[in-house]
């Protein structure tokens, strides 16, 4: 890819560009890894609904990867810092906060009820903010 860039740009510009994009992807990976860890633990404890598309945690996980996460990564790759931040980073951070709230609630209720089935049956409706 750098050879393609070099047809129009200096090496310093090219190297800075890739360094910036790589740093943004690494930053995103920190959020994704945290979300993935929570998802794996919820699944292992039976705390994700069998119909994942009706599960607020899983919906946020999907948005974290396919929408806000893509915007965060692609915004950086396309040289659009405002888009990468407001439609990417900011929304990814909101997703993580909401996912953490759901995760904490379900873990607390698992201790209370001792049954994943009871937790999911008694969970109050949780609207998912998709930031669209």
> Which of 62, 126, 53, 120 has the alpha carbon at shortest distance from 95?
62
CB 51 within 8 A of CB 112: no
- φ, ψ for residue 126 (rounded to 5)? -120, 105
Domain annotation covers residue 2: no
- In whole angstroms, give the CA distance from residue 92 to residue 72: 8
Domain annotation covers residue 59: yes
Domain annotation covers residue 45: yes
Token match 């980073």: residue?
89
Domain annotation covers residue 36: yes
What is the tally of structural domains in the chain?
Answer: 1
Domain annotation covers residue 3: no
Domain annotation covers residue 127: no
CB count within 10 Å of CB 59 equals 19
Domain annotation covers residue 86: yes
For position 128, what pLDDT does the model report? 74
| Residue 61 tokens, joined | 């996980």
- In whole angstroms, give the CA distance from residue 89 to residue 73: 9
- pLDDT tens digit at each of 132 positions of the chain: 889 999 999 999 999 999 999 999 999 999 999 999 999 999 999 999 999 999 999 999 999 999 899 999 999 999 888 888 888 999 999 999 999 999 999 999 999 999 999 999 998 887 777 666
Q: Could you tell me the residue range of the domain that residue 91 belongs to?
A: 12-121
Domain annotation covers residue 4: no
Token match 């790759």: residue?
77
């Amino acid at each position: 890819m750098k050879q393609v860039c070099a047809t129009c740009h200096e090496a310093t510009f090219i190297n800075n560009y890739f360094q910036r994009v790589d740093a943004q992807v690494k930053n995103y990976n920190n959020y994704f890894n945290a979300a993935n860890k929570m998802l794996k633990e919820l699944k292992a404890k039976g705390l994700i609904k069998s119909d994942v598309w009706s599960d607020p945690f899983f919906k946020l996980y999907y948005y974290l990867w396919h929408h806000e996460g893509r915007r965060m990564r692609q915004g950086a790759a396309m040289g659009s810092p405002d888009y990468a931040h407001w439609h990417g980073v900011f929304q990814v951070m909101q997703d993580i906060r909401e996912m953490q709230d759901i995760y904490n609630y379900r873990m607390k209720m698992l201790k209370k009820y001792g049954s994943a089935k009871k937790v999911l049956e008694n969970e109050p409706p949780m609207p998912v903010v998709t930031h669209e």
